[in-house]
């Protein structure tokens, strides 16, 4: 099994290209099930989750062609992928395919909208919370679907004539359910209104792609999204937006290690709350025509309290990385996690590096230490794994991060991007 070896102490200097957003690419890929024409997506990152979803879509009859790369870069960057599904060949998404990645459950919306039937396994994914599917189920029921859960599968049927427009108020904000119900509603009869909807940039990105395919959607990016169903959707060409979580992750790495890095092909407006917290911590942040310029002061980090919230608040997907940064702050910081009930599993691993962190319910109190020291640590989920890499970059000595398959789900060529900026980091296959 692979591990990542990091020798800390080197400031980061250079340029890091930001990849397309995983959290945007996945629902965009699933949208290919809504049309018999070809959907072409540009700037698709080369990640394990993308590869897994391509296998799932292939099992439903989607033909996939992968082409393209950025100039002067190797295979795997900014791919252009063509998705074509003239006929859906299977409306069942099996446990073996869905168990590895929660987002694969989202196929239930397009399958039900286009075929009137879907049988999808209950999902898996990172062990960071229960993340139930009740919001998906109740939302589809609001469009007239009949749904039962049997032997670990959600079995859904649309009424004769297809899904019908309806009104659904999310009892809590859910990005995945907003994606799924928005896709399902594009082919429903009549108008669907989704209230208390997620406002993430990835929601807007999906809506823009669906509109290019012929969908009628208003309000994406606000709490109320209105979708007027159409009889069919066409193909389209769409570019995946930059990954705001990858952007924030590397910005925090620079703030923690010191140095000066330009993050290219990204947009500061996608992560205003996180950049504000970084600025308060002492990082110097300026925007450029093509991205963000970060100057870090690793020995002079100010403590900053944050609470994770749905967009536009501080993202839960940057909580672990910001905690790593706060372990070196001059003072005490508090982080409150409000999105997932079990997203502090990285705390005990950061403690192995010398961090001083106390937990009380959903609040972590971090007392900054003068130094972190390298140690063997274990990744517990996608974002926690990269927090350990960031901490290792700033620690004295050698850190070995095991179970890095989590990293491969969400960070494209992490070691290469960091090495190009002066980090001593390598992947080792034991």
Q: What is the mean pLDDT of residues 100-113?
A: 92
**Domain 2-18+242-429 classification at class level:** alpha beta
Q: Which of 23-37, 118-132, 396-410 has the highest mean pLDDT?
A: 23-37
Residue ranges of the domains in the chain? Answer: 2-18+242-429, 22-239
Q: What is the mean pLDDT of residues 104-118?
A: 97
Q: What is the mean pLDDT of residues 307-336?
A: 97
pLDDT tens per residue across span 246-256: 999 999 999 99
Q: What is the mean pLDDT of residues 7-25?
A: 97
The pairing of strands 117-121 and 153-157 is: antiparallel
Q: What is the mean pLDDT of residues 147-175?
A: 95
Q: What is the predicted pLDDT for the residue at 261?
A: 98
For all residues of the chain together, what is the average pLDDT?
93
- DSSP notation for 206-223: HHHHHHHTT-EEE-BTBS
pLDDT band with cut points at 50, 70 and 90 for residue 242: very high
Q: What is the mean pLDDT of residues 9-32?
A: 97
Query: 415's torsion region: left (phi>0), alpha (psi -120 to 50) or beta?
Result: alpha
Burial class of residue 230 in the structure, from the number of CB atoms within 10 Å of its CB (0-12 exposed, 13-18 middle, 19+ buried):
middle
**8 A C-beta contact, residue 379 and residue 353:** no
Q: Count CA atoms closer than 13 A to 220's CA, side-chain side.
A: 22
Q: What is the predicted pLDDT for the residue at 124?
A: 56
Given a cut of 80, whether residue 62 has pLDDT beyond it is yes
Q: For residue 217, what are its two tokens?
A: 């959607």
Long-range contacts at 281-285 (CB < 8 A, ≥ 24 apart) = 281/255, 281/325, 281/326, 281/329, 282/255, 283/251, 283/254, 283/255, 285/251
**8 A C-beta contact, residue 20 and residue 45:** yes
Q: For residue 324, what are its two tokens?
A: 């790593």
Q: What is the mean pLDDT of residues 306-322?
A: 96
Q: What is the predicted pLDDT for the residue at 78?
A: 77
- Residue 132 among known ligand-binding residues: yes
> Which of 282-291, 311-320, 365-374, 375-384 shows the lowest mean pLDDT across its residues?
375-384
Q: Do the domains 22-239 and 2-18+242-429 match in fold?
A: yes
Among residues 154, 224, 242, 148, the alpha carbon closest in space to that of 185 is found at: 224
* Neighbouring C-beta atoms of residue 205, cutoff 10 Å: 23
Among residues 379, 366, 333, 371, the alpha carbon closest in space to that of 353 is found at: 371
Q: What is the predicted pLDDT for the residue at 152?
A: 87
Residues in the chain: 430
Percentage of the residues of the chain whose pLDDT score is greater than 90: 85
Q: Rounded to an integer, what distance in angstroms lies between the CA atom of residue 181 and that of residue 217?
A: 12
Query: Cis (ω within 30 of 0) for the bond into 312?
Result: yes
Given a cut of 90, whether residue 156 has pLDDT beyond it is yes
pLDDT band with cut points at 50, 70 and 90 for residue 129: very low
- Residue 381 among known ligand-binding residues: no
Query: In a 3-state reduction of DSSP, which class is residue 78?
Result: coil
Given a cut of 60, whether residue 172 has pLDDT beyond it is yes
- Residue 23 among known ligand-binding residues: yes
What positions carry a catalytic annotation? 126
- Residue 339 among known ligand-binding residues: yes
- Residue 174 among known ligand-binding residues: yes
- Residue 135 among known ligand-binding residues: yes
Among residues 323, 320, 319, 314, the alpha carbon closest in space to that of 273 is found at: 314
CA distances from 52 to 42, 67, 79, 96, 102 (A): 18, 18, 16, 11, 11
pLDDT band with cut points at 50, 70 and 90 for residue 68: low
- Residue 172 among known ligand-binding residues: yes
Given a cut of 60, whether residue 133 has pLDDT beyond it is yes
- DSSP notation for 348-375: HHHHHTT-EEEEETTEEEEE--S--B--
Q: Rounded to an integer, what distance in angstroms lies between the CA atom of residue 130 and that of residue 39?
A: 33
Q: Does the pTM exceed 0.85?
A: yes
Q: What is the predicted pLDDT for the residue at 98?
A: 84
Q: What is the predicted pLDDT for the residue at 127?
A: 40
- At the topology level, CATH places domain 22-239 in UDP-n-acetylglucosamine1-carboxyvinyl-transferase; Chain (3.65.10)
Q: What is the predicted pLDDT for the residue at 354?
A: 98
Report the first-to-last Cα separation within the chain, whole angstroms.
6
- Residue 10 among known ligand-binding residues: no
* Neighbouring C-beta atoms of residue 67, cutoff 10 Å: 10
pLDDT band with cut points at 50, 70 and 90 for residue 405: confident
């Amino acid at each position: 099994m692979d591990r990542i070896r990091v020798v800390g102490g080197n400031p980061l200097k250079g340029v890091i290209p930001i990849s397309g957003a995983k959290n945007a690419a996945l629902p965009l890929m699933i949208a290919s099930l809504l049309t018999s024409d070809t959907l072409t997506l540009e700037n698709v990152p080369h990640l394990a989750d993308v590869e897994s979803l391509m296998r799932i879509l292939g099992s439903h009859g989607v033909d996939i062609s992968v082409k393209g790369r950025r100039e002067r870069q190797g295979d795997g960057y900014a791919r252009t992928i063509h998705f074509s599904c003239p006929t859906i060949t299977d409306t069942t998404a099996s446990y073996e395919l869905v168990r590895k990645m929660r987002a694969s459950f989202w196929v239930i919306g397009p399958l039900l909208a286009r075929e009137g039937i879907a049988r999808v396994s209950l999902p898996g994914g990172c062990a960071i919370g229960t993340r139930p599917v009740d919001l998906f189920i109740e939302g589809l029921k609001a469009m007239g679907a009949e749904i039962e859960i049997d032997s670990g599968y959600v079995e859904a049927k649309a009424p004769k004539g297809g899904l019908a427009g309806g009104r659904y108020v999310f009892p809590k904000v859910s990005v995945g359910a907003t994606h799924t119900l928005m896709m399902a509603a594009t082919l429903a009869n009549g108008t669907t209104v989704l209230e208390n909807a997620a406002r993430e940039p990835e929601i807007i990105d999906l809506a823009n792609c669906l509109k290019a395919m012929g969908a009628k959607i208003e309000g994406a990016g606000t709490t109320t999204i209105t979708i007027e169903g159409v009889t069919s959707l066409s193909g389209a060409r769409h570019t995946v937006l930059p990954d705001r979580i990858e952007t924030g992750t590397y910005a925090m790495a620079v703030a923690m290690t010191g140095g000066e890095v330009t993050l290219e092909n990204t947009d500061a407006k996608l992560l205003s709350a996180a950049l504000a917290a970084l600025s308060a911590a002492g990082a110097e942040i300026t925007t450029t025509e093509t991205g963000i310029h970060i100057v870090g002061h690793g020995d002079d980090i100010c403590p900053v309290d944050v609470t994770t919230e749905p967009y536009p608040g501080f993202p839960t997907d940057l909580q672990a990385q910001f905690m790593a940064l706060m372990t070196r702050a001059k003072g005490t910081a508090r982080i409150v996690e409000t999105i997932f009930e079990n997203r502090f599993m990285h705390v005990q691993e950061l403690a192995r590096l010398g961090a001083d962190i106390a937990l009380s319910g959903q609040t972590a109190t971090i007392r900054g230490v003068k130094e972190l020291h390298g140690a063997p640590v274990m990744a517990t989920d996608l974002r926690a794994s990269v927090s350990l890499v960031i901490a290792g970059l700033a620690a004295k000595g050698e850190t070995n991060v095991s179970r890095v398959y989590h990293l491969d789900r969400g960070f494209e060529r992490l070691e290469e991007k960091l090495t190009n900026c002066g980090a001593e980091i390598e992947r080792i296959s034991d």
